[in-house]
Amino acid sequence: MFPAPALRLFAFCLLSGSGFCLAMAPLTLVAAEDPAPMAEAAAEGSYAIESLRVFVETLDRIRSHYVEPIDDETLLEDAIEGMVQRLDPHSSYLTGDAYAALQEATEGVFGGIGVEILEEEGRLKVVAPIDGTPAAEAGLRPGDWIEAVDGERTAVVGTEAALGALRGEIGDPVTLTLRRPSEEDSFTVTLTRALIDIPSVSQRWLVPGLAYLRITQFQTHTGEDLRAALEALQSEQALAGVVLDLRNNPGGVLSSGVAVADAFLDGGLIVETRGRGASANERYEAQRGDLTGGAPVVVLINEGTASASEIVAGALQDHGRGLLLGQRSFGKGSVQTLMPLSETRALKITTARYYTPSGRSIQAQGIVPDLQGRELGSMGERAPATREADLPGHLDAPEEGAVDEDALGGLAPFSDEDGLLMEAVRLLQAHGRLGGA
């Protein structure tokens, strides 16, 4: 670890632009501190000292010789952004509009087109369009590449600027240039920005006694919304079975995922996080009281089921509380912590991994369903899905807690021309508590 006096001296050198200060730092430190620990620190930090010297020299060379003048603030901001982006696909340095957008997204109210985006190799990829938004109505699909926004190519303007361009005044049009993995040519689609006020939970009856709950993403109030939805359903009739649809749910707020799993469990571990710092190691337990009264549950998942939605699916599966139907989930088993640096800047960095109650790691592995179903839809076979393990720079899955597919009792794949939802209805009817329909 770099000693605090050296860090202070380095900060001074950055501000003053002096490489000489950095060269003198080890001598100053030895004179100011006890020699024994400083000698050890110097030995451990010698490589860091050299790297910092190169950094300052590079900064000075760019400032002096680049073809156009660039102010120091821009250079340092870009350096920080690059440093954080190299960590993993989900860590980022947020400034200005990007920071505000993240805060808006967790509340679920903003102006835009309604699509979850992942940055990959300097490009924007659609994780999932959000139900009932312009993006969903325009037919955007998971895996689509956004090559340009209003004619400005994302590779040229940068992903942060492109993300900002997706948002704007309600009623204004925005044109996207998209490339679909299954097609050679790109195409354009024009959408009209709308107020994206997303109810994260929706509910309805499929047949008498059988409820359908759809969670599109995990916002701040999703746990409360789910409880309200269950209360509304049970005020109308007795609950004999539940289909919980988490397909194309990109996740969101961890505490909301815990609250949703808690609603279906009568105690026990929901998820464990493990990281380097003490605050990153947490165990989240369910409270007593299953809000469904023990009604059987079928959980629908696919390759777009990620993060907090994988926590819910894994917890219900491990406790034998729900039958998982669909496809292996995305595999985003890492925790991101938002660390504000100022009113307009923040770090979003990965601080831990998720583990299911049985100790399985979600990271780069995902949740394997009990029954696999191939989603066909009106467009026929879908292109191969992109999952966490396909992302450049993703965190590896730890050896402990790896997915053991054999331990799940084997898989019974089927083709779902009739739809995964109808298959879920049949499974619950076969459970014996529902009448035929």
If DSSP codes are grouped into helix, strand and coil, which group holds residue 270?
strand
3-state SS assignment for residue 243 = strand
Rg of the chain taking only CA atoms, in angstroms: 25
200 part of the active site: no
CB-CB contact of 137 with 117 (8 Å) = no
Hey, which residues does 110 pair with through a beta bridge?
196
Q: How many residues does the chain have?
A: 437
Residue 390: active-site member = no
Q: Is 332 a catalytic residue?
A: yes
Catalytic residue among 256, 307, 309, 329: 307
If residue 109 lies in a helix (H) or strand (E), which one and from where to where? strand 109-112
Burial of 21 (0-12, 13-18, 19+ CB in 10 A): middle
Half-sphere exposure of 220 (CA within 13 A, CB side): 8
Question: Token digits for 131?
Answer: 């139900």
**Spatial contact of 309 and 218, defined as CB atoms under 8 Å apart:** yes
Q: Which residues pair with 128 in a beta bridge?
A: 116
* Secondary structure letter of residue 278 according to DSSP: G
How far is it, in rounded angstroms, from Cα 99 to Cα 346?
7
CA dihedral 407, 409, 415, 417 (to 10 degrees): -100
* Catalytic-labelled residue, pool 131, 318, 370, 416: 318
Place of tokens 């939802």: 421
Q: Known catalytic residues?
A: 307, 318, 332
